[in-house]
Amino acid sequence: MKLNHQKALVLLYILTIATALTSAYFYGLSTFVAIILGLSAVKFMLVAFQFMEMKHANIFWKFIIIFYLVIFVGAVSIILR
């Protein structure tokens, strides 16, 4: 199934609302920090590959984006635990 811009935008809205609700109701629990970072990572990937057209880029750039995301989310998760 191809993801068009309207479906991606609706998914971004849903993920943003889920992130806001998670942060509002579970403030201070370190487990939910990882959930919020995961939701943010999904949003980052959606924006990068759908709206910035990285899905048509060279495999090197795709690898760099995913590698950066894994390192960043992993480092922040470890620091905040």
pLDDT under 70: residue ranges of the chain: 1-2, 28
Q: CA–CA distance from 3 to each of 13, 47, 75 (Å)?
A: 15, 12, 30
pLDDT score, position 59: 95
Report pLDDT for 34.
82
Range of the domain at 61: 5-80
CB 26 within 8 A of CB 32: yes
How many domains are contained in the chain? 1
pLDDT of residue 1: 52
The answer to whether the predicted template modeling score (pTM) of the entire model surpasses 0.85 is no
For position 81, what pLDDT does the model report? 76
